[in-house]
Amino acid sequence: MAKPPRIYRGTPRNLALLARRLKAGGLVAVPTETVYGLAGDATSIAACQRIFAAKGRPSDDPLIVHIASLADLARVAVPNEAALRLARAFWPGPLTIVLPKTSAVPDLVTAGLPSVAVRMPSHPLFRRLIRLAGVPLAAPSANPFGYVSPTTAAHVRRSLGSRVGHILDGGPSRIGLESTIVDLRDPARAALLRPGAVTRFEIERVLGLPVARRRTSRAGARLAPGQMARHYSPRTPVVLHERLTAAMAARGGPRDAWLFISKPRGHRPRDPSQERLFWLDAQGNLRRAARRLFSVLRELDEGGFRKIHVERPRGPGIAEALGDRLDRAASR
């Protein structure tokens, strides 16, 4: 019988032990400010093969390479001035930049493409682990491919089980959505590949030029992760609505769950029919809602419901990222 994974506190002794595991080609689930990742040496083909195998990830879906300092960028990518401006503005933080790659990055990591997706995470434990390991770390989300991303160490243990032996616990993810990804291979034609906590407006303000939204490509290798039409999906079917009301939920099936962005008007806590009503943030704060999205989707997925009805967020900024994740979760 396979042993369950061990969860480690972020002590100096544990970090040193986990860094040795990474140097030896092993895998460690790690906390980041976005979601938990499954980390391995990004310069090792064998370690990256283990990542793909543990997740059941297709080889045409590239990995993000994580570095600990701006000085490490040139080791894995060929930066340009626009990329450096964004890095200085948003790193460490939830922004991934796609650039031409160096020979230090195996083709397996980049789906055979001459570009690489790079970011510098802000979670202090993860950055410390990268420094101790002494190598850049590839780290996609620590869950089976296509499923809801994990935002706690317990999520990782339930999702991957014995496929990962070591989990570094850094507490709940502060942001709760994967990083923003921007393509800067050609700095004059910046493109948003995946929205996240760093918004399109913030990127445009730093670059001083418009950033186009590049939609999902259905053919060939992808420039970066998070580009598949269906992704971040619970097993329970998700139905996306432009607007939800408590009255709609009351007319719905007895085995359907109804997930609102904010606490719905007309909610009556003593009414048994409203036990199927859930919300991401009582006041509708979208950043707090984003932090809870994946955790709540997991809870509802384990709740025995027939369908999960979800309200689409409205507004600019982080609403674009929330809407992107929900569009993919609801895709057929």
What pLDDT band is residue 296 in, cutting at 50, 70 and 90? Answer: very high
CB atoms within 10 A of CB 49: 15
Residue with tokens 């390479």: 65
DSSP secondary-structure letter at 101? Answer: B
Q: pLDDT value at position 275?
A: 79
Q: What's the confidence (pLDDT) of residue 4?
A: 84
Q: Using CA atoms, how far apart are residues 109 and 66, in angstroms rounded to an integer?
A: 12
Per-residue model confidence (pLDDT) at position 310: 97
d(CA 306, CA 300): 10
Which are the contacts of 84, defined by CB distance < 8 A and separation ≥ 6?
70
Per-residue pLDDT of 2-23, as tens digits, reads 678 999 999 999 999 999 999 9
CATH number for the domain whose boundaries are 6-213: 3.90.870.10
Q: CA-to-CA distance for 199 and 143, rounded, in angstroms?
A: 25
Task: Give residue-wise pLDDT tens across range 24-48.
Answer: 999 999 999 999 999 999 999 999 9
What is the reported pLDDT for 225? Answer: 83
Q: Where are the alpha helices (DSSP H) in 255-304?
A: 286-301
Among 11, 42, 247, 218, residue whose Cα is nearest residue 137: 42
At residue 248, the pLDDT reads 87
pLDDT in tens, 212-268: 988 655 445 678 887 877 888 999 999 999 999 888 888 888 899 999 999 987 666
- For residue 266, the model assigns a pLDDT of 65
pTM beyond cutoff 0.85: yes
| pLDDT tens for each residue of 107-154 | 999 999 999 999 999 999 999 999 999 999 999 999 999 999 999 999
pLDDT of residue 232: 87
> What confidence score (pLDDT) does residue 304 get?
93
Chain mean pLDDT for the chain: 93
pLDDT band at 270 (very low <50, low <70, confident <90, very high): low
Q: Which residue has the tokens 């195996």?
A: 106
Give the distance from CA 16 to its chain's centroid: 26
Same fold, 6-213 and 238-330: no
Phi, psi of 145 (to 5 degrees): -55, 130
Going by C-alpha positions, the residue among 158, 169, 288 that lies closest to residue 234 is 158
CATH number of 238-330: 3.40.50
Each domain of the chain, given as residue ranges in start order, spans 6-213, 238-330
